[in-house]
Amino acid sequence: ALRSYDVVAVAPGSEAVLERVLTSPARELIDLVCLPSAHAPPFSLRPHAARRVLAAGLQLELCYSAALRDAASRRHFFANLRACLEALPGAARKRGAAGLVLSSGADEPRLLREPRDVASLVSLVGAGPLAGRAALAVNPFRALERAARRQYPPPLAPPPPHGLCSIGLVPTRAAAAVAAASAGGGASGAGGEQQHHHHQKMRRR
């Protein structure tokens, strides 16, 4: 049933559930691990669990609309965002190499913001500017790529590296030119041979 969805996100309610999500075959069926944004998390995200998320090719998702609802939701959002970034490796925290996806999670138009405003939220908790941009562009694209590979796996027998010409199904331009030259040469040779026989007959007469 999960294969009928384009992108699959899981919100684990405990550390034990997260461990099960990160084991095969469950991890091959999901793309995002959604963390709570507007309330306190049911468990603490440990660095080794965050590394396992990245090793599985998954991304951690937070919804920034929680920062725009009320004071309590805003406080929980920044606390959860800081905890998520601290659990990620240093490269991901500074350069946004992988790990964090910021979604809107908005159910009202007033909770939507343009990308530059959302990226600035990440810098408020001490992350580099590239981390905010990656959370809105690079990492979501990686999640979509993963979902596309799950929906449309590569064929078992890929085409030859040089196209159909390499297996002789479509003649190349050079092969066609050689064939035409050979045909023309054969015709002219036959014509020359017939003309030679005609001259010999005339001499005999």
Q: In this predicted model, what pLDDT tens digit does every residue of 24-63 receive, in sequence order?
A: 889 999 999 999 999 999 999 999 999 999 999 999 999 9
pLDDT tens column, 100-148: 999 999 999 999 999 999 999 888 888 878 888 899 999 999 999 999 9
Torsion angle of alpha carbons 140, 145, 151, 156, nearest 10°? -170
More confident residue, 38 or 1: 38
Residue 59 pairs in a beta bridge with 32
Query: pTM of the prediction?
Result: 0.71
> What's the CATH number for 2-151?
3.20.20.140
Angle between helices 71-87 and 115-123 (to 10 degrees): 70
Instruction: Name the residue with tokens 């913001």.
Output: 113
Whole-number Å distance between alpha carbons of 198 and 68: 100
